Structures are given as structure tokens and as C-alpha cells.
Amino acid sequence: MVLKMKKITVILVIACLLLYLSACGEKEAENDSFKSNVHDDLVEGIKPFYDNGAFASYGDGLLYGQDGLLKVYDFSTKERYVLCGNTNCKHFGNDCAAWFGDNSMGVFGAALYNGKVYYFQKDDKDIKLHSQDVTGEQQKVLYKMDLTDVKVGSYTFVDIVRAIYHNGYVWVEAIYDAIKDKSGNDSVETKVIQGINLETGDRIELSTLPKVVDEDASEYSEIEYIGDGVVIVGNITPLGNNVSREAYILYDIESKSTKEIYKSELISILDEDGNYNGELPELQFFGKYKDKYVCTKYYDENVNGNDGKFDIYLFDTDKKTFELVTDGIDGFPFFENRYSMKSLIDGSKLIYEVSKDDKSEIYYYDLEKNESKLAFTDEKNLKYRLVEETEDKLIFKIYTNVETDSSFNIYTISKEDYLKGKFENKEEFSIK
């Protein structure tokens, strides 16, 4: 009898412990849960291609999807939250405001921006942009993009592939197919850049669909850089014979003015046998320092295989001059997520990689002091891949096996420790 009692007690204790643990693991979000959620007015929505945990930073934490729910990890409180404020909710299924398990787009494009949650949802008819507050209240459909019927000789909207939140807008790369025959199977893909105002739902088109739909290779546009109130768009026009031209257009969000800042041919990349193997832009933008844009410029006239080199410049878009920052070192900015991430830490320290035969050296260049310092020596295939910056931390990931496996773990580290290579002070954060 005593033995039986003991058993029941043990079971009760375990049950209580489990209850306690699950209640303790995540908090329901309250409207003032994330006070420090804006630091640079730039958030890239969650990208779809992370198969092991998708996330987006929101200033001082991470937004991520787990078990069909949108959740937040807050670095300052070290708490995890589910983005549903209803304490009676089971947080499962469509009744829950944080639930995305039935959304065919998953968490793609979702972001926590200026204290609100945004996400996209796709069905047979359209893609909708939703907004709600962090507790799941105030739900709104901000914008609806119709998935148009297939019509020969015209464009049909099929998808969006990037979503970056900046200056009160979400900027998307929208994919359209130009349909060439009745079956709808023969089509040419193109891509245009659009901005959706997060207050009014109004749409701005930063590039327009090509007029000719029966080309083999269509014109398309890509987001080159977003930040500091501007969007730089690259408009790529195929010229035939594997040659394309790229015009870089700078769009000022406040004044709604545009100007062409540079134009060049894309660099053809040849394989070892001299065959065409794709193309590279001459310029790539990574940030802004004072009135100039940080970019890499490709050099080496006769590119063979991967022999081309990069240098880092400050580009003056008015005078159209390039000022060499790193002195012929073939350095490349170090961020994996280059578009929305400022490769300038704290706005003035440019982190870059110099590749050696058997290792990579990671430097930072202080644009205020005009000096370069070695931060640490990394493995050849780059172990510590920086992905985001928050106010006082850097977020990086380490792949389990970068050659064969796309799974990775996420770590945070203070900026100071990172720049000194003190990785023993890193903290692991799991969203698996």
C-alpha cells in the first residue's frame, strides 16, 4: 500500500513538473513584450530556404517558426514568446493568432517590424499581406496580390521571393511568368520590385514588367541594397550571346525620386574549359557610410574560372567616383545575408574576409579611423558566418558540415568578443 502511494506521488510530481515546464517554456506575448524592437528600421522577412529553423532578427531578438507557431526569442530577457496573447488558447490550429501551420507559404516573409507582426499567405487566388499586433489582435489584410489567369502573351503573377521591411514599406521581389503558348507550360520568368505601404496598403512599382514577352531571356530586376531611406535596384537587360547589361537605379523613398547611378555589363563567368557558366554583377552594395555607398567592384578583365577579384570601395553616386577602402586585398564583406544586413557593424566598421590558400582571415576596417585590424583567423570554408546584427550583439551560425549538410546552429556573441575572436564566449540558441 505504501509502495502504491509512493508511485502515485511520483507520477503526480512528474505531471506537475511537465505542466510547470511547458508553462514556463514560452510566454504569451503582451503588447509591451518587446520594447526594444527597432534599432535600425530594417528587417528582412524570414527567408524560406533554411530547412533547419527559419528566423529573422527584429532588433533585439529573433522571430522564428516552430511547431507551426510564430515565436520570438528576446535577447534582453532571454524569454521565448508565442505571438498570441490569449492565455486560454491551446496555440494549435487556425484559432490561434500565432498559427501558420496551414499557410502554404509557411513563415516566408514574416517579420516583427515597428511593433507589429507581418506575414504573407497564399491560396489559389492571391497572395495576401497580413498585419496584426504581437498579441494577435488588430488583424488586417493590408494588400492582396492577385494570382492572375494564364493568358498567352501576357504576364501572370506567381510568387514573391524576398520581403524586406524598411521605411514604412515592405519591399518585395515579385515573380511573373510571361506565357508564350496556350498550355501555359512554355513561359519566361521575370522579376520586378514593388513596395507596399504598411499603413495604407498602397503599392509602388520600382520596376515594371518588360514590354516584350516572347524573348528567350527576359529583362528582370533585383534588389541590390536597402537602407538609409533608399532602395537600389539592378535592372538587368539581356543583350544576346550571354551578355547582359545592368543599370543600377537609386530610389529615394521620401522624395520618390529615382536616378541611375551606374551602368555596366555583367561579368561572364567561364568554367575551366572556357564555357559560359553564368554571370556576376560588377558592383555589389553592402552598406552606406556618410554619403557614400560601400560596394565591391569586380576586376580582372579576362575572367577564367573563379580567378576574378573584388575590392571594397566607397562609391559617391553624385560624382560617380570610387574610393578604394581596402588596398588591393581581394577582400569581400563577410555577411552571408548581404542584402538587408549592414555589413558595417555600428555603422562604421566594415567586416571582410581575405581568402588565403588554407584559411580565411577576417578583418574589420574602421572607416572613422581609416585602419584595418585582424579580428580572427577562420577556417577556409568560413566557420563563423555572420547573419545579423542587433544593438550590442552579433548573430552567427555554424553549419554542422558546410560541404554536405545545410543544418546549422545559431549563436550570439557580444560585438567586442566577436571582433577579438573570443568565440568561447558565444551563446547557443536553438530554434529546432
Query: What is the C-alpha to C-alpha distance for residues 43 and 37, in angstroms, rounded to an integer?
Result: 10
Closer CB to Zn ion, 94 or 400, in the complex:
94
Closer CB to Zn ion, 96 or 111, in the complex:
96
Beta-carbon contacts of residue 384 (< 8 Å; ≥ 6 apart) = 362, 376, 378, 396, 398, 418, 423
Residue 192 in contact with Zn ion, rule: CB under 5 A? no
Q: How many residues bind Zn ion (CB under 5 A)?
A: 4
DSSP string spanning 317-352?
TTTTEEEESS-S--EEE-BSSTTTS-SEETTTEEEE
Closer CB to Zn ion, 54 or 96, in the complex:
96
The sign of the CA dihedral 189, 192, 197, 203 is negative
Residue 385 in contact with Zn ion, rule: CB under 5 A? no
Q: How far is the CB of 61 from Zn ion (least distance, A)?
A: 19
Q: How far is the CB of 28 from Zn ion (least distance, A)?
A: 8
Q: How far is the CB of 232 from Zn ion (least distance, A)?
A: 40
Single out the segment in contact with Zn ion by CB under 5 A; choices: 12-20, 34-42, 76-84, 379-387.
76-84
Closer CB to Zn ion, 96 or 145, in the complex:
96
C-alpha cell at 383: 566557420
- Cβ atoms of 80 and 66 within 8 Å: the answer is no
Please name every residue paired with 111 in a beta bridge, in sequence order, or none if there are none.
Answer: 118
- Cβ atoms of 51 and 407 within 8 Å: the answer is yes
Beta-carbon contacts of residue 399 (< 8 Å; ≥ 6 apart) = 385, 405, 406, 407, 408
Of residues 90-149, those binding Zn ion (CB under 5 A): 91, 96
Single out the segment in contact with Zn ion by CB under 5 A; choices: 82-90, 180-188, 268-276, 298-306.
82-90
Closer CB to Zn ion, 62 or 96, in the complex:
96
Q: How far is the CB of 58 from Zn ion (least distance, A)?
A: 19
Query: What is the C-alpha to C-alpha distance for residues 195 and 231, in angstroms, rounded to an integer?
Result: 10
Q: How far is the CB of 99 from Zn ion (least distance, A)?
A: 7
Of residues 43-62, those binding Zn ion (CB under 5 A): none
Please name every residue paired with 57 in a beta bridge, in sequence order, or none if there are none.
Answer: 62
Q: How far is the CB of 345 from Zn ion (least distance, A)?
A: 37
Q: How far is the CB of 21 from Zn ion (least distance, A)?
A: 18
Residue 84 in contact with Zn ion, rule: CB under 5 A? yes
Amino acid letter for position 249: I
Closer CB to Zn ion, 68 or 347, in the complex:
68
Query: What is the C-alpha to C-alpha distance for residues 184 and 186, in angstroms, rounded to an integer?
Result: 6
Q: How far is the CB of 66 from Zn ion (least distance, A)?
A: 13
Instruction: Determine which residue in the list 38, 89, 354, 402 makes contact with Zn ion, applying CB under 5 A.
Output: 89
Q: How far is the CB of 89 from Zn ion (least distance, A)?
A: 3
Beta-carbon contacts of residue 7 (< 8 Å; ≥ 6 apart) = none
C-alpha cell at 76: 534582453
Q: How far is the CB of 214 from Zn ion (least distance, A)?
A: 50
User: What is the DSSP secondary structure assignment for residue 32, as one 8-state letter?
Assistant: T
Closer CB to Zn ion, 91 or 342, in the complex:
91
Closer CB to Zn ion, 96 or 236, in the complex:
96
Closer CB to Zn ion, 137 or 252, in the complex:
137
Q: How far is the CB of 110 from Zn ion (least distance, A)?
A: 16
Single out the segment in contact with Zn ion by CB under 5 A; choices: 30-38, 51-59, 89-97, 398-406.
89-97
Instruction: Give the chain's largest Cα–Cα span.
Output: 91
CB under 8 Å, gap of 24 or more: what pairs does 83-88 form? Answer: 83/29, 83/117, 83/134, 83/135, 83/136, 84/28, 84/29, 84/135, 84/136, 85/28, 85/29, 85/30, 85/31, 85/134, 85/135, 85/136, 85/137, 86/28, 86/135, 86/136, 87/28
Closer CB to Zn ion, 25 or 153, in the complex:
25
Beta-carbon contacts of residue 107 (< 8 Å; ≥ 6 apart) = 46, 54, 64, 65, 70, 100, 119
Amino acid letter for position 96: C
Closer CB to Zn ion, 70 or 341, in the complex:
70
State the residues that interact with Zn ion by CB under 5 A: 84, 89, 91, 96
